[in-house]
């Protein structure tokens, strides 16, 4: 299984970006997908997650109300729409996948995911 993340770039504060993560290889029937990010000198942190089957989602407090995770079944792709971006959102963003359902309370634990994408850089700066 491979996860290909894309869509990062440089954006001004208040701007928007949409990240994409396409899964290829073995098709999961009911995975859990998530986005994490890691800023320089900081630990990897959870951003948003979605259970494929019932579309249950969870967001970190720092992005709630600004970011939206969504999916396109036909394209095996999960998206992260990021609005009202702030300089603190600057980081490398990683998508992650688990082969089956994950309880919502465990969405934020990196060790629970089986596969990781290569990361895409998001820089928010004027």
Ramachandran category for residue 84: left, alpha or beta (phi over 0 → left; psi -120 to 50 → alpha): left
What's the average model confidence in pLDDT over 10-39? 92
Looking at the predicted structure, is the pLDDT value of residue 110 above 90?
A: yes
What is the rounded distance in angstroms from the CA atom of residue 77 to the CA atom of residue 31? 12
**Quick check: 70 and 83 in contact, CB under 8 A?**
no
Pairing of strands 91-98, 115-116: antiparallel
Tens of pLDDT, residue by residue over 47-97, are 999 998 888 999 999 999 999 999 998 888 999 999 999 999 999 999 999
Looking up tokens 């073995």, which residue turns up?
Answer: 26
Maximal CA-CA distance, the chain: 42
What is the rounded distance in angstroms from the CA atom of residue 62 to the CA atom of residue 52? 23
Tens of pLDDT, residue by residue over 25-39, are 877 777 899 999 999
């Amino acid at each position: 299984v491979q996860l290909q993340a894309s869509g990062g770039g440089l954006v001004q504060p208040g701007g928007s970006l949409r990240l994409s993560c396409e899964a290829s290889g073995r098709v999961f029937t009911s995975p859990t997908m998530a986005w994490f990010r890691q800023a320089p000198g900081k630990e990897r942190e959870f951003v948003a997650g979605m259970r494929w089957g019932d579309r249950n989602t969870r967001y970190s407090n720092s992005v709630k109300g600004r970011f939206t995770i969504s999916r396109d079944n036909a394209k095996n792709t999960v998206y992260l729409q990021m609005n009202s971006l702030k300089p603190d959102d600057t980081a490398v963003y990683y998508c992650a996948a688990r082969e089956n359902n994950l309880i919502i309370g465990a969405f934020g634990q990196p060790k629970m995911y089986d596969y990781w994408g290569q990361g895409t850089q998001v820089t928010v700066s004027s």
